[in-house]
Structure formats: C-alpha cells, structure tokens
Amino acid sequence: MSSNKKYWKSVEELNENSSIVDALRSNEFVEEIPTDSFLGNADKLNATGTSRRDFLKFVGFSTAAATLAACEGPVHKSIPYVVQPESVIPGVADYYATTVFDGYDFANVLVKTREGRPIKIENNKTAGATFSANARVHASILGLYDNYRIKQPTIKGKTADFDTVSNAISKALADAKTAGKQVVLLTPTIASPTTFKLIAEFIAANPTAKHVMYDAVSSSAALDAYQQAFGTRGLVDYDLSKADVVVGIGADFLGDWQGGGYEKGYTSKRVPKNGKMSKHFQFEANMTLSGASADKRVPMSNYQQIQALLTVYGVVTGTGVSGNVDAKHKDAVSKAAQQLKAAGSKGVLLCGIDDKNAQLLALAINAALTSEAYTTAGTRLVRQGSNAAIAQVLQEMNAGNVGVLITSHVNPVYSLPKSYGFEAAMKKVPTSVFIGLRSDETAVASSIVIGSNHYLESWGDYSLLKGSYALAQPTIRPLFSANKQFEDVLLALTGRKNLSYYDYLKANFPVVSGGLSWGKVLHDGVNGTYAIGQSTGVAVGDAVTVLSAAKSEGPYELNLYSKVGMGDGQHANNPWLQEFPDPITRVSWDNYVTVSKADADKLGLVNLNVANGGLNGSYVNLTVGSAKLEKVPVIIQPGQAPGTIGLSFGYGKKEGLKEEMQVGSNAFVLYQNFKSTVPVSISKADGEHEFACVQLHKTLMGRGDIVKETTLEIFRTEDASKWNVAPMVSLDHSPVKAVEVDLWDSFDRSTGHHFNLSIDLNACTGCGACVIACHAENNVPVVGKSEVRRSRDMHWLRIDRYYSSETTFEGDNEKKEGFDGLTGDKGSLGGFLELESASENPQVAFQPVMCQHCNHAPCETVCPVAATSHSRQGQNHMAYNRCVGTRYCANNCPYKVRRFNWFLYNNNDEFDFHMNDDLGKMVLNPDVNVRSRGVMEKCSMCIQMTQATILEAKRSGREVRADEFETACSAACSSGAMKFGDVNNKDSEVASLLKDERMYHLLEHVGTKPNVMYHVKVRNV
C-alpha cells in the first residue's frame, strides 16, 4: 500500500507555488557552468559540428577548471617592474646596515628588505657593533607601516603643505626674536654629533633659543652623579664579561636599566666553563629579569636597598660605614659585600637607586675595586635629560616667557604628571610646533603638527659611546612625501630648504668621524673602535651622611619601572608588543600593580582562575601626593618585597593609536618629581579585571625532565649521570636508557644536512627578542586580548617561566620525593596542592619552547591527511594546503606547541591589526605563507632561511660554512642562549653542544627524539 505521507527538506518546499523550489527541481546545477570563459572558441560547440567525444572533452575541461578556480584563493594581479632596478633581484633579500636610536632604545642592526620593502630587523654582528636589538627594536619595523602615522602637516587642525608650515614657524620665530621671548627646542636625548651641530646653528640664528633634552623615564640622578664625578653628562658603560662577582642593587641591568644591552657580557660568564662561572647577588623590590637570573636574590624595599648600599660601601672602602639593614637581610648583604671585596678588580656593583648620592657611592665602590668591568672612557651618551631643565622650561612657559615651543619625538603631555600642568602651560605659548610620527597627546595640544620620517626612512649619525661613530641610512623612500625628518625641518628654519640632510650629513662627516671612510662606515653601519680606559677615584662628599639620614616612608612604596615589551610607551600602537607576554607575569595587553602575597591578604586582593582558563584579579586605587590612579588591576607577584608594589610605564595612552591598543593605566600620573620610588596609598576598588595571561602562576612540580638544574658545586664534583639523569624505561623487564629504545625504525640521517637547535638555560634571560623576531620572520598573526584570554595566542615560540614552590627547585624535588601515602602531613594529595603555590621568594627559570621537530614525531603518526611530515634535514613540515584542521596533531603533541587558526586573522575587521590594512601588510615576509582559517601551524625551524643559506652557498660555488645557518630566534638571541646549525657538520658549534654533558631533551622518556636540545641550568649557590 503506497503512502501519501509528504517528506520535505526545507520549509520552503511546503509552499507549493514556490518558483525557487521549481527551478531547483528542474536544474541539476544551480548556475550555468561558464564554459565560454574556459574555451577559446565556443562557436564550435554546436549540435552538428561537435562530436560526443569532443563535447565530453570540452565539458570535462570546463568543469575541472571551474572546480580548480573554486578551490583556489582570490588572485591579486600585480604589475611588474617596467624598468627593474639593477640592485634589486626579485626573490632575493638585501641587507642594509644602520643604527637605531629613538631617544630610548638603541642598537646596531641590519635591515632585511625584499623588493625595496623593509621587512625585518637583524642584529649587526660586524666587529664594533656593540649593541644588539631588544624586543622593542625588533618590533619597531612594524611602526614604519603604522596606518596611524601622521601623513600631512597641519596648522590648527587644517592640512597644509610643508612650505606653508615652515613659513608660519619662521614668522613665529621672528616674532619671538622681536619680542625677546624664548624659543624652546624640546627633544629626547640626542646622540648625533651632526644633529648637535645643526641645533647649534639654529640657536645661533635664534639667539633667544635653547635646546632641552627630556627623557620620559629619567636617568637624571645617575647623570648628575657622573657629571659631578667626571665632568661629562653620561653614564658608565659596564663590561660584565670581565666580572666574576656582580652585585645589583635596584638595577635591572638585564632589562632597561641605563638603556640595557648588558646581557651579552653577563651571560658570557654565566655559562660554566672549566667549573667556573660568575656569582650574582640581586637586591630589589620588584621581581625583574635580573633578579630572576640571580644566584641569590633578596627582595627588599628602597630604604633597605640604601642601607645595603651603605654597608657594601663600608666593607669595600674600609671606612667603617654601616647601614641599618634588617636582621633577615644582614647575612645576605654581608656575604655580597665580602665576596665583592674579595673579587677586587673582578667585581662590580650596579646601582639603580633613584638618588644622586646613591649613584655617587656606586661609582666610588667600583673605583675602590678598580673594577675591570667599570670603564668611564667608553661613556654611554644614550641618556642626557635633565630634570632641572624641564622644571625650568615649565616655569618659563607658565610665566609667558616662551614664544615658540618646538617638541620633537617627545610626548610630555602624556608622560609628565598631570600636576606639572604641561598642557595648560602650552596654551600660554603663542606657537607650539610638534614633530613626530603619530598624532599623540602633545600633537593634539600643538598648533602646528609636522609628520616625521621613521628611522628606516631617515639619514643620521650617532655616537652612542664616547669615541664611537655610527651611521644610519634609509632603507625605503619616505612612505608619506609630505613628512620631514627633524633635521630637515631645522634646515628649512635656518633658510636652507633646498639643502637635504643627506648632503649636510655627508659634508659634516669628515669633521665628526675622525677621518673614517664614508663608504666603509656606511657599509658596516658602525666604526669598529671606541674609547676604553680605567676610571679614577670618586669624591663622594656628604653623600654618606645624606643617605644615612634616609627614612622609611609610609607603609607602602610604589616602584615604577619600564616593562620589557612597552618601554616608555612610544610603541603603544604596536600590536606585536601589546600581545608580547611579559617575561615575569606572562600577561599581555595590560599593565598592573604587582603586590606580594602577604600584602594581598592584608588588603583583600585576589587572583583567581575562571572556567575558561582565564585569570581574573582585583582592582586597587593608588594615591601619590595629590595624584590619583583609579581601578588599576592587581597581579599577586611571587618575589615582590613586602610593603612594596610595582607598576610599569608605557600604558594608558589614548591619542594616536587604535582603540584596541588603548589599554592599561598611565603610570606617569604618579611619577612625581621624576622619582621612580615614592610613598603610595593603596586601597581595594570594586570590580574584577580580566587578564590575558598565557601562563598562570604554576610551578615545575618536580618534573625534572622539563627544567633540569643543579648547583655549581655538584656540577664540578659529581659525574654528569648524577645531575643530568638519563630517563630509564623497562625493556624485557630490565631498565634501559630511554634514548636506546625505539618503537620505529630510524632513518639514516648522517648524510646531507641535519638541523638542531640548542638552548642553554644558563644563558636565557627571558628577554623575548626571539619571540618578536619569530613574529616578523614567519608572519605570525596577532589575535587580540580576547583570544589570548581563551588560550588561543598564536606565538610559534613561547618562553615558559617556572617558579619554585620551596626556596629552590631542588627543594621542590625533595618535597615531592618525600611524599608518603595519599593523605596526612607528608601525603601527596596535600603536598602537590602546596607545590601549586610559588614561594614568597622563588627561584625562577626561563625556558623557550617551540616545535621540537621530533625525529619520531607523535603529530605525524596521527594526521589523517599527511599534512605534517618529516624531512631528511630534521625539520617537521606543515603542508598548509593539506591540513583540514582535525587538531589530532595538537592533541598528540606532548610539548603543546601547535597553534590552530580559529579564525581568519588577515582581512578581518574583527582582528583590526596590521594584517587588516594594506600598509600594515607591507611588513609581511613573502617567503612565508599567510595561513588561513582552520589550519594548524607551528614553528617551521625557519625552513625558508635554511634553504636560502643552502642556495646562496650553491650560487657561490662553495659549501655552507660551519655556523652559517640561522633561524629567526637564534639570530635574534644576543645572550647566546640559542645556537642553530647542522650537526652533520662536525665543525659546527651545535655539533659540539650535542655532545656536551649538560645536554638533554624535553620529555626524553617519551622517545620522540627531538632536534631541539637544552642544557642543564647551573646555579652558583
């Protein structure tokens, strides 16, 4: 019996009069196949003149082509060179040496360009190139392609050409000269001899003018002390490769202290050689990179740091001076002082206390030691700002004595505390001129605005160290033709509009370079020699008396600092740096107050993990004098000195940047009298903040095959089998080394290249330069705070930070091994819960982790479409076109280093970062795919770089040199922690490191046979 029951697939089918349904029923294909677009002569397709075979051939071709077109992405047509420049070879990168100095960061670098487009910053390894690029310098290339850059000069908000603007400024200068009013040129620290000459000529043409240098994060106390002692306004350049004992008091010298750049010398003595390594004591309030690397770290307040400094001064100089050190700190301070004195010329003290008298004592201590690491001939000229000069400028502005204010690449409206009233003072100046990259807070308050060239579009010269000389050259024509670099503006204002700064610089070169060759310095980027010499004694005057009278102020002190990712804030519109996780807290897209656990309990402040794995925290209100900062989120920081709180500069900006980047709180509001340590009132505020934290405050929990470490004493006296224990597995009921057992047959990899990456935990400082370099080289997308909070960050390389639960990591292991049963005082249940909490003053270990490129990779065996496979050269490949996003590989990876593209991150308004506008995309590396939604991605061991090296050697008709291979991370690592190379080349450094007794692999017992090796961390305790 037939059924009259009606079946339907859509509601529309129930409508019997639907023309759409009828059309779909009668047509097999919804749209006509566009045969004509594929066939050259459609007229041949007729009933009489075309055979069945021809018809099927044509249709087969047509449908196949249509299918191919549907599977491919959109095609973007490009116009080739009409006349190809001789210096440009398509597909081949060019490198140009230059020097970076933006008033805060500085480095000697190489700029990688493709078809005339700068795409990456590399370290310049030429002899004499002293300063390496930090994370911010690596990321600064993205600032070149910032769509928020000023593109046209303006007068009172209306666009104008440069001639009109320069004429208006010249008239204002003439009016100021006639009226006898001052002209103030306010710039960051300038280290260019040619720019100084040009400024002197500007002042000569405008006799009432003066030049004032302003550092947003002041080093004035150290500069004043150095100037008093040696007559030059500069800073000591320390060579830590010559120090066996390093004592740091409030100085984060592995961070931004005195501009940074000390990690290379420091780590050269931290890797144990012949059973020896340097000893490092650190006394500080905030947990810093320097404190994290120290052998002995003592958390203490600023007042206690002063007392420790007095004690060390007394011991080293033998003057009998003694500070009032707390009983709990006395032993550590005494040991540091005695070992420093015993080291003599092989010892050095680094002081970051924001006080001129303290800085004088530090100079005197190093002079008394005759420290080889302490030289004053090679004076650093990278900080020269004066607090007193800024105060005087404000006074003159408020008095109405300033007729013209020209600010260049500084943002005092943002970075000076509101109580200084800089913005209000600007309104009393008839003409205020702003020269800079973005329309920031000071630009908005200025009457005339001129867009400046990026450093990659500019000529310049620098003397970063006394006696050194370096050139900066543009690597691209200015993107915005209406913009001018600062020096070109000065040339125009001194009546030389037709003279380019390039011509002015080249004409002045023989005078300032000391007879160097223009071509050689331009090629190398830097002169290979600079002044060296030993320091002389330092007169401290009444510094000891003044410091001895210091008192502890208030129950809490605020310690302001510059964050590794954000610095002084001028890179706030850089999404790479905003998404860069802080090395210590692992938080991105925020700044925050750091408090100790004890103080958090007193104030009722909490951090808690929520269901999606995110971290939430309390808010606090801060008050310093009359300045207030409300609703600042809190991170409970292990190692924070009780009674102290930390807060970083660089956040809270609102002008000249995208809404997504307008995050955090402006710590400069509390920067009273340029003091980085001030008494503060703190109170809990309502609400709960959502952090984007990629690694919560977890511990190693005794997993000794992740981070392995030992003490120098054990390292020297015991066999490696005792401190670098090889994991064992059972084979035929007998224990054997895990590395000797295979589940699969191994390929012969002894011929050709076989790449390995070595990471030395002793040399890694957690600086993060490798993370940003990887971002730039491999087109890693930025996903934003919301996605990072969901654990969807896309970094191919992460730097895990581990805390110890006990005082040391060895204490963690002993506690774990001492568990007896499940419950009770020594039970594992409560014991492991205790191991989840970091110590009040934990030891810290940094560990970079990327794809381990396993020779027996678990990801490869579970991929159903063979998207991930292994090469003969040891790299684990990803064929993005094959990947269908099952994520089996991520589930099967024991190292959790694979990243899934949950969304399309380019050309997507939901991710409005550099990949969402045409200008920002110019930074993309054409050698690396931009991945699409649904694709798994991870570290490729920079296969494009290794292949380019092989091809270059082949083109030159030679073998690849021993240590010629590089990856983005190894090339960026200035501390020497990462070494990359071919282990089949027995002359390579990585081949010898593979045989080192400190070498081990992560999770070696799993049997994955990784091509990334680590070296046991040795502590000199």
Residue 367 has a CB neighbour count (10 Å cut-off) of 21
Beta-strand pair 182-187/402-408: parallel
What percent of the chain shows pLDDT beyond 90?
Answer: 58
Confidence band (pLDDT; 50, 70, 90) for 64? very low
Looking at this protein, which amino acid is placed at residue 190? I
pLDDT given at position 540? 79
DSSP 216: S
Distance, CA of 810 to CA of 808 (rounded, Å): 5
Q: E strands of 563-624, at which residues? A: 587-588, 593-595, 607-609, 615-624
Mean pLDDT of the 509-534 span? 79
Distance, CA of 463 to CA of 998 (rounded, Å): 41
Decide if 707 contacts 809 (C-beta within 8 A): yes
Q: What is the chain's alpha carbon radius of gyration, rounded to the nearest angstrom?
A: 31
Distance, CA of 219 to CA of 667 (rounded, Å): 17
pLDDT given at position 39? 46
Mean pLDDT of the 923-944 span? 92
Distance, CA of 194 to CA of 508 (rounded, Å): 7
Decide if 235 contacts 383 (C-beta within 8 A): yes
What pTM, to 2 d.p., does this model score?
Answer: 0.88
Closest to 623 measured CA to CA, from 635, 613, 632? 632
Is 828's pLDDT higher than 60?
A: no
pLDDT given at position 90? 77
DSSP 294: -
Q: In what order do the strands lie in the sheet with 279-284?
A: 296-299, 279-284, 245-249, 347-351
Q: 236: which 2 tokens?
A: 């000591």
pLDDT given at position 11? 46
For the chain, the residue count is 1021
pLDDT tens digits, residue range 705-733?
Answer: 788 888 999 999 998 888 888 888 888 88
pLDDT given at position 55? 47
Is 525's pLDDT higher than 90?
A: no
Mean pLDDT of the 113-138 span? 89
Q: 429: which 2 tokens?
A: 């100046």
Distance, CA of 520 to CA of 123 (rounded, Å): 18
Distance, CA of 642 to CA of 598 (rounded, Å): 7
Q: 188: which 2 tokens?
A: 């960051």
pLDDT given at position 15? 57
Confidence band (pLDDT; 50, 70, 90) for 98? very high
Lowest mean pLDDT among 80-89, 300-309, 346-355, 753-762: 80-89
Distance, CA of 647 to CA of 653 (rounded, Å): 15
Helix residue ranges, H only, 150-301: 162-179, 193-205, 220-230, 263-268, 289-293
Q: How far is CA 506 from CA 352, 499, 503, 743, in A?
A: 39, 12, 5, 66
Lowest mean pLDDT among 127-131, 670-674, 889-893: 127-131
Distance of CA 798 to the CA centre of its chain: 12
Average model confidence (pLDDT) for the chain?
85
pLDDT given at position 560? 95
Decide if 198 contacts 490 (C-beta within 8 A): yes
Decide if 619 contacts 634 (C-beta within 8 A): yes
Is 836's pLDDT higher than 50?
A: yes
Residue 163 has a CB neighbour count (10 Å cut-off) of 11
Listed in sequence order, the residues at least 6 apart from 835 whose beta carbon sits closer than 8 Å to its beta carbon are 699, 701, 702, 805, 812, 815, 816
Please tell me whether residue 403 adopts helix, strand or coil conformation: strand
Beta-strand pair 279-284/245-249: parallel
